Amino acid sequence: MRTPRGKPLPRRFYNRPTLEVAKDLLGKVLVHHSAEGTTAGMIVETEAYIGEDDPACHAAPGPTKRNAPLYGPPGFAYVYLNYGIHYLVNAVTEADGHPAAVLLRALAPIDGLALMRQRRATNGRAVADADLCRGPGNLTRAMGIVLADNLLDLTSSRLCIEDRGLAIERVSCGPRIGIRVAVDRPWRFWISGHTSVSGRNS
d(CA 28, CA 111): 14
Q: Quick one: angle between helices 113-120 and 136-143, nearest 10?
A: 120
User: Residue 146 pLDDT > 70, yes or no?
Assistant: yes
pLDDT digits (tens, 9 = 90+) for 85-128: 899 999 999 999 999 999 999 999 999 999 999 999 987 788 99
**What long-range pairs does 7-10 form, CB within 8 A, spacing at least 24?**
7/162, 7/163, 8/154, 8/155, 8/156, 8/160, 8/161, 8/162, 9/75, 9/154, 9/155, 9/160, 9/161, 9/162, 9/163, 10/75, 10/155
β-pairing, 37-50 vs 77-82, is: unpaired
Lowest mean pLDDT among 33-47, 74-88, 137-151: 74-88
This prediction's pTM: 0.95
| DSSP category for residue 94 | S
The beta-strand segments (E) located in 83-180 are 86-92, 100-111, 159-163, 171-174
d(CA 158, CA 76): 12
